Amino acid sequence: MATIAPERPQVRRSPTAFEALREHLKTHPDDRLVHTHKWDVSRSDIYFEDTWQPIFKEMREAGPLHYIPESPFGPYWAVVQHKAIQHIEALPEIFSSSWEHGGITILERLSDEELAARGAERRELPMFIAMDRPQHTGQRRTVAPKFTPSSITDMEAEIRQRTGELLDTLPRGEVFDWVDKVSIELTTGMLAILFGFPWEDRRLLTFWSDWSGDTELATVRELDEMRWGILQEMLAYFQSLWIERTHQDGGEDLISMMIHSDAMNQMSPQEFMGNLILLIVGGNDTTRNTMSGIIHAFDKFPDQRKLFEENPDLIPNAVQECIRYQTPLAHMRRTCTEDTEVFGQHVKKGDKVVLWYLSANRDEEVFDNADKLDITRENARRHIAFGYGIHRCVGARLAELQLRVLLEEMHKRRMRVHVAGDVERVRANFVHGFRKLEVEITSF
Residue numbers of the site for ligand HEM (CB under 6 A)? 89, 128-129, 140, 278-279, 282-283, 286-287, 290, 323, 328-329, 332, 385-389, 391-395, 398-399
Report d(CA 95, CA 80) in Å as an integer. 16
CB of 19 to ligand HEM, least distance (A): 27
93 or 112: whose CB is closer to ligand HEM? 93
217 or 322: whose CB is closer to ligand HEM? 322
List, in order, residues 6 or more apart from 315 with CB less than 8 Å away. 308, 404, 407, 408, 411
Short-list 368, 269, 376, 277, CA closest to 322: 376
Other Cβ atoms less than 10 A from the Cβ of 87: the count is 17
CB of 350 to ligand HEM, least distance (A): 19
267 or 323: whose CB is closer to ligand HEM? 323
CB of 157 to ligand HEM, least distance (A): 18
Report d(CA 85, CA 268) in Å as an integer. 32
35 or 432: whose CB is closer to ligand HEM? 432
Taking CA atoms, 199 is separated from 143, 185, 437, in Å, by 21, 11, 25
Question: For residue 171, is the peptide bond before it cis, meaning its omega torsion is within 30 degrees of 0?
Answer: no
36 or 153: whose CB is closer to ligand HEM? 153
CB of 292 to ligand HEM, least distance (A): 11
401 or 441: whose CB is closer to ligand HEM? 401
Q: How far apart are the first and last CA of the chain?
A: 54
CB of 393 to ligand HEM, least distance (A): 3
Report d(CA 366, CA 81) in Å as an integer. 9
Q: Please state whether beta strands 176-177 and 434-443 pair in parallel, antiparallel, or not at all (unpaired).
A: antiparallel
CB of 194 to ligand HEM, least distance (A): 6
Short-list 441, 394, 357, CA closest to 80: 357
